């Protein structure tokens, strides 16, 4: 049996930020690693980024997966936000709360991502994150 190995897809360069690190070894044997770089302001909610990119780049791919035939299925920021809002409302309509939470039992999938984002989108109602 012979196997053909496809050449890897080209990747664009990715900047990961500064690499500087302050290291402290404590007397108890623990090591503390700190970045001297101050954190930039961040959104209040993780899903605020989805809202931002759906407005700024609605037709850009947010998530993608290969189907059973190996063909890529793409979900844009705009489509993802629309679906997340619909799912979030459906969760709210079912009177889910911190006392009646959501549990997702699923493989890693686009659907799992969408329901997870929907639960986070209405975080104050659906989970105890504070």
Greater model confidence, 11 or 34: 34
Residue 71 has pLDDT above 50, yes or no: yes
Angle formed by the axes of helices 77-93 and 110-121, nearest 10°: 60
End-to-end CA distance of the chain: give it in Å, rounded: 56
Query: Which phi and psi (to 5°) does residue 32 adopt?
Result: -110, 125
Q: What is the mean pLDDT of residues 82-104?
A: 88
- For residue 74, tell me if it sits in a domain: yes
- Average pLDDT of the chain is 86
Q: Is the dihedral of CA 57, 62, 66, 68 positive or negative?
A: negative
* Count of domains forming the chain: 1
Q: What pLDDT was estimated at residue 54?
A: 97
CATH code where residue 113 lies: 3.40.50.980
Residue 123 DSSP code: H
- For residue 5, tell me if it sits in a domain: no
Q: What is the mean pLDDT of residues 18-37?
A: 91
């Amino acid at each position: 049996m012979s196997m053909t190995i496809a050449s890897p897809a080209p990747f664009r360069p990715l900047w990961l930020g500064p690499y500087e690190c302050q290291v402290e070894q404590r007397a108890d044997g623990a090591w503390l690693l700190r970045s001297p770089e101050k954190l930039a302001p961040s959104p209040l909610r993780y899903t605020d980024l989805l809202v931002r990119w759906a407005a700024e780049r609605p037709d850009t791919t947010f998530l993608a997966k290969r189907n059973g035939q190996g063909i890529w299925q793409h979900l844009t920021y705009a489509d993802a936000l629309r679906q997340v809002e619909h799912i979030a409302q459906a969760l709210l309509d079912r009177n889910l709360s911190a006392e009646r939470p959501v549990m997702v039992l699923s493989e890693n999938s686009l659907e799992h991502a969408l329901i997870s984002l929907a639960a986070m989108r209405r975080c104050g109602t659906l989970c105890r994150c504070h």
